[in-house]
Amino acid sequence: MLRILQIHYMRFLFLTGLLLITLVSCKDEDDSISVREYDFEIEDFIWEALNTYYYWQDTVPDLADNRFSSQKSYATFLSLSSENQEQLFESLLFDKDRFSWIMSDYTALENQLSRIYKTSGMMVGLATIGDSDDLIAYVRYVLHGSDAAEKNIKRGDLFLSVNNEQLTINNYTELLNSEEESFSIQLAEINEGTVNPTSKSIDLVKAEIQENPIHIHKIIELNNKKIGYLMYNGFVADFDAELQNVLAGFQTQNVSDFIIDLRYNRGGRTSSSIKLASMITGQFSGELFAQIKHNDKLSSWNESQVFESNPVQLGMTQLYVISSSSTASSSEVLINGLSPYIDVILVGDHTTGKNVGSYTIYDWIDNNGTVNPRHTWAMQPITLKISNVNGFADFEDGFQADHILREDIANLGSLGKIDEPLLEKTLEIMGVLPARLEKKAFRKESIQFKQFINLQKAFMHFDNPTKIHTIRQSKDFARD
């Protein structure tokens, strides 16, 4: 019996010593670490932010103010997604929300909003052929100064595979958005009604590039008219001064008409949209351009946006917009805001239908906008809806084109050239080019392509609200 007691006592001393060693080791490694039973700081940020700012907060039962009977039940709810914060975010969204998103690195999120990419420079679209899951990638345009530009990749180039792996509905994201800095594409071509790989392979290298959204600007002189043409691929505030200089040049040259090409413009900063609208016109300074509506909790944030006073005033009473299914968000704000004042003619395809916008929501820890230093999560949830002077905002299905002509992957043409199909069609509608109905009527090699989903997100975002208030609250998650 004594031997048994001695054994138990020795075991007790051993376990106690082991526990002390463990505790001392943890303390030596990082004195600031404190182990808590409940640690849901990121999950708490996600729920609190959506409960406060989300436009559809009152339609999501799990975001209701009275959803939880105690902080412990709240912690239990958060714990269900403690291994997947993105899943928690997605679970709290309105079922018709197509546009809210979250990222674990707010620097990457900010780069996306500023059109800063790590890219080879190819801006591509995807399409399916027939009923196959295989995809074909086609180059829409190439960024100036990129590796793709250096290697003579051009609009209309086709490829079926990346690193010799066929693009499919299931793998295109992984292949096209890989973190690998170098990759190869295997070019394809259309022959006798089929798409076939060629023997040509091109190695490409990615680098960080900020896209200049002013892709092309020129004056087209036809039929005794000077027509300003601008291909504008994103409302990026960093380029507002350059945008103003371009339109000032149009004003100096006394352009009589204006074509803005927004076919690849997924949106961006609304302040840039208002600035552009104000320069296209000029005769409506101070008049209402847009009305901003938040959720009921933030109704005091509702505001009106007016046309700005700007030295550049083109004075247009008619605007031609080249549009596509990729035309979204702040592009649609431009169309919607101008439509009550001037004649806006859409040529191309119907737009995306994003009538809502967002702020970048960080985990602010005080009313000065200080961001929580303990993590880097931030989100871009829908926080507002935007209407025009007439209160119209119901374009969830997009704006329908007045003249429909979708891009043909087999005949994309050269952007900015007057024989590029969509620009040519616009010039015909304006009456400065004769209509040539028989042109490109039908080709033996014509293939029925179906465009796949957009690779880029649609943006309509505002500066962080000046009315920031702290949403972080100290919680005792164990309390009933």
pLDDT > 90? residue 18:
no
Cross-strand pairs, 101: 380
Rounded to an integer, the average pLDDT of 210-221 is 97
Most confident of 24-38, 88-102, 168-182: 88-102
Which has the minimum average pLDDT: 59-68, 126-135, 221-230, 456-465? 456-465
Put residue 192 in one of left, alpha, beta given phi > 0 → left and psi -120 to 50 → alpha.
Answer: left
pLDDT > 70? residue 252:
yes
Q: What is the pLDDT of residue 117?
A: 87
Coil, helix or strand at residue 322: strand
Q: For the segment 327-365, what is each residue's pLDDT rounded down to a tens digit?
A: 999 999 999 999 999 999 999 999 999 999 999 999 998
- Whether residue 127 contacts residue 110, with contact meaning beta carbons closer than 8 Å, is answered with no
Q: Which CATH number fits domain 120-209: 3.20.20.190, 2.30.40.10, 3.30.1360.70, 2.30.42.10?
A: 2.30.42.10
Q: What is the pLDDT of residue 448?
A: 55
Which stretches of 192-339 are assigned E, i.e. beta strand?
A: 194-205, 207-210, 214-222, 225-232, 257-261, 267-269, 288-293, 303-306, 318-323
Q: What is the pLDDT of residue 34?
A: 37
Which has the minimum average pLDDT: 35-44, 208-217, 272-281, 297-306? 35-44
pLDDT > 90? residue 138:
yes
CATH class of 214-441+457-461: alpha beta
Domain boundaries, the chain: 41-95, 120-209, 214-441+457-461
Mean pLDDT of the chain: 87
| AA identity, residue 35 | V
Q: For the segment 33-72, what is each residue's pLDDT rounded down to a tens digit?
A: 333 344 789 999 999 999 999 999 999 999 999 999 998 8
Coil, helix or strand at residue 178: coil
Q: What is the pLDDT of residue 334?
A: 98
Apex 239 CA angle, 119 and 413, nearest 5: 60
Concatenated DSSP letters of 422-468 = HHHHHHHHHTSS---TTTT---TT---EEE---SSPPEEE-PPPTT-
Q: Distance between CA atoms of 352 and 363, rounded to whole angstroms?
A: 30
Residue 440, class by beta-carbon neighbours within 10 Å (0-12 exposed, 13-18 middle, 19+ buried)? middle
Secondary structure element (H or E) that encloses residue 403, with its range: strand 403-404
pLDDT > 60? residue 445:
no
Q: What is the pLDDT of residue 4?
A: 36
pLDDT > 50? residue 283:
yes
Q: Distance between CA atoms of 233 and 370, rounded to whole angstroms?
A: 32
Task: Classify residue 69 by its DSSP letter.
Answer: S
pLDDT > 80? residue 293:
yes
20 vs 314, residue with greater confidence: 314
Structure tokens at 446: 């014509």
pTM of the model: 0.87
Taking residue 168's Cβ as centre, other Cβ atoms within 10 Å add up to 14
Question: Which band of pLDDT confidence, cut at 50, 70 and 90, is reported for residue 28?
Answer: very low
Which has the minimum average pLDDT: 27-41, 43-57, 116-130, 365-379? 27-41
Q: What is the pLDDT of residue 194?
A: 83
Give the closest residue to 107 by CA, choosing from 118, 91, 99.
118
Coil, helix or strand at residue 48: helix
pLDDT > 70? residue 14:
no
pLDDT > 60? residue 429:
yes
Q: Distance between CA atoms of 7 and 318, rounded to whole angstroms?
A: 95
Which has the minimum average pLDDT: 58-62, 142-146, 177-181, 381-385? 177-181
Tokens 């239908």: give the residue: 353
Using DSSP bridges, classify how beta strands 116-119 and 378-380 pair: parallel, antiparallel or unpaired.
unpaired
